[in-house]
């Protein structure tokens, strides 16, 4: 039996660990810039999220160590009879903690937050190059119902 993580809202001091988690796979390594001293754009983004009451970044901890993160955003909508939806982004679990139920606990936590808030649905996207992530989300009840499309601006 693996220990259950605790969840809390991330603080600015958590950013090096969060960005490290985001960079800890082949796709993230190509687009993130981890380190103890982070580029200013991460700080600006974190402050914008922290100042937005519809946005939160959470961290999962085991014994005071950050082992996972996700961003949860609430989106008002005219569709679905004006129902609010929740969007999950940036889900990551520390490499040495994968397969121990932390990701499932994080998603279960996020779904419950959306349910309590009265959201009509919860949605997420995952890159097609992450087949393990796709299987993971499907195991938790998410279904591929739409075709996601992105238009990247100002790619480095």
Q: Give this prediction's pTM.
A: 0.92
Task: Name the region of 69 (left: φ>0; alpha: ψ -120 to 50; beta: rest).
Answer: beta
Alpha helices for 23-122 (secondary structure H):
26-31, 40-51, 79-82, 102-117
CA-based nearest residue to 23, from 130, 102, 79, 95: 95
CA-based nearest residue to 97, from 27, 24, 10, 34: 24
Question: Percent of the chain, pLDDT > 70?
Answer: 98
**Would you state the torsion angle of the CA atoms of residues 94, 54, 30, 132, taken in this order, to the nearest 10 degrees?**
50
Domain 6-139: assigned CATH number: 3.40.630.30
Predicted local confidence at residue 82, as pLDDT: 83
Q: What average pLDDT does the chain have?
A: 94
Evaluate if residue 64 carries a pLDDT over 80: yes
Predicted local confidence at residue 3, as pLDDT: 82
Q: Are strands 55-62 and 6-9 parallel, antiparallel or unpaired?
A: antiparallel
Q: Cβ contacts of residue 53 below 8 Å, gap of 6+?
A: none
Evaluate if residue 70 carries a pLDDT over 70: yes
Q: Which 8-state DSSP code applies to residue 63?
A: T
Please report which confidence band the pLDDT of residue 156 belongs to, taking 50, 70 and 90 as the band edges: low
């Amino acid at each position: 039996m693996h220990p259950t993580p605790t969840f809390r809202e991330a603080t600015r001091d958590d950013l090096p660990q969060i960005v490290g988690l985001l960079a800890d796979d082949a796709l993230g390594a190509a687009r993130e810039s981890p380190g103890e001293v982070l580029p200013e754009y991460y700080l600006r983004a974190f402050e914008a999220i922290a100042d937005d009451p519809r946005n939160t970044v959470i961290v999962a901890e085991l014994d005071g160590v950050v082992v996972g993160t996700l961003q949860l955003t609430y989106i008002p909508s005219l569709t679905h009879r004006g129902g609010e939806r929740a969007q999950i982004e940036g889900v990551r679990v520390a490499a040495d903690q994968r397969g121990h139920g932390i990701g499932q606990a994080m998603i279960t936590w996020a779904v419950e937050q959306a349910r309590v808030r009265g959201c009509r649905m919860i949605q997420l996207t995952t890159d097609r190059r992450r087949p393990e992530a796709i299987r993971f989300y499907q195991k938790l009840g998410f279904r591929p119902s739409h075709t996601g499309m992105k238009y990247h601006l100002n790619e480095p």
